[in-house]
Amino acid sequence: MDYKRILTIQDISCFGQCSLTVALPILSACGVETVILPSAVLSTHTGGFTGFTFRDLTDDIPSIAAHWKKEGIDFDAIYTGYLGSERQIDMVTDIFRTLSRPNCVKIVDPAMADNGNLYYGFDDKYAAAMTRLCKEADVVLPNITEACFMTGLEYKESYDEGYVTEVLNALEKAGMPNVILTGVTYDSETTGVIVKTGEKVEYYRHKKLPVGSHGTGDVFASAFSGALLRGKTEYESARVAANYTLRCIENTVGDDSHKYGVKFETAVPYLLEELNK
């Protein structure tokens, strides 16, 4: 197995099982050398907690990147998650162009919206900046809400395959031909992931659990990136990531004291089994 090096750029929520505290262990478990670039440090994530601390690390990003460039440090893949501002997005665009090895895979999870709404603190200007970053990526991992904000399409809670095709076509027209569209649900019993690579479109369907959890998007994106670096195809990587995320949720259901995230650590052996199939 080739030993790949990936850079992941997102915040550190010290408690709460999301962002870098999820990405670093999952990518490492996949056998990938994982380098981190924190965009901010929070005492907890922002979902369900109040009074959390927040330190913005935007001003540190250029000097870290410049030092790496001086030392000849570069990457086989760069994977971005939650980015806190348009300025950070512009910095990431520069990192894409200066710290990539030949054939570097650029993966963007445009973590900015869900359920028809942008996250707190984001606006249409931020969405436009994220769209520009996604055009630089080799693979993007939006949910339907994020896809709509990047294309100007109307968000719908209920939809059919025709609507999803419209979303995928709009993303391609916007400069994103390779898309992993998450949370695609056609009925009450199942959900799944659409994998579009160029003109090829595949749907991986799995059972739908009647619960939601913080951090599952980060779990999925990290497992997908790790599987892709292990040599899996985009569809295989999406399947691995979806199955792993589902198992993480299943391992957490019923523990009312653990509503802040999922017990992803308990399912790492299952992730390795999926990777080795």
> pLDDT tens, 138-177?
999 999 999 999 999 999 999 999 999 999 999 999 999 9
> pLDDT tens, 77-120?
999 999 999 999 999 999 999 999 999 999 999 999 999 999 98
Residue 190 near residue 207 (C-beta atoms within 8 A): yes
> pLDDT tens, 62-76?
999 999 999 999 999
- What average pLDDT does the structure give for the chain? 96
pLDDT band at 240 (very low <50, low <70, confident <90, very high): very high
Q: What is the pLDDT of residue 91?
A: 97
> How far, in Å, CA of 122 to CA of 125, rounded?
8
Q: What is the pLDDT of residue 128?
A: 97
Q: How, if at all, do strands 33-44 and 5-15 pair?
A: parallel
The total of structural domains in the chain comes to: 1
> pLDDT tens, 241-264?
999 999 999 999 989 899 899 999
Q: Given a cut of 80, is residue 212 above it in pLDDT?
A: no
Which H or E element spans position 215? none
pLDDT band at 214 (very low <50, low <70, confident <90, very high): confident
Rounded to 5 degrees, φ, ψ at 66 are -65, -40
CATH of the domain at 213: 3.40.1190.20
Range of the domain at 77: 5-275
Q: What is the pLDDT of residue 23?
A: 98
Dihedral over alpha carbons 31, 230, 236, 277 (to 10 degrees): -70
Q: What is the pLDDT of residue 210?
A: 79
Side chain identity, residue 204: Y
Q: What is the pLDDT of residue 121?
A: 87
> How far, in Å, CA of 192 to CA of 195, rounded?
10
Q: Given a cut of 80, is residue 1 above it in pLDDT?
A: no
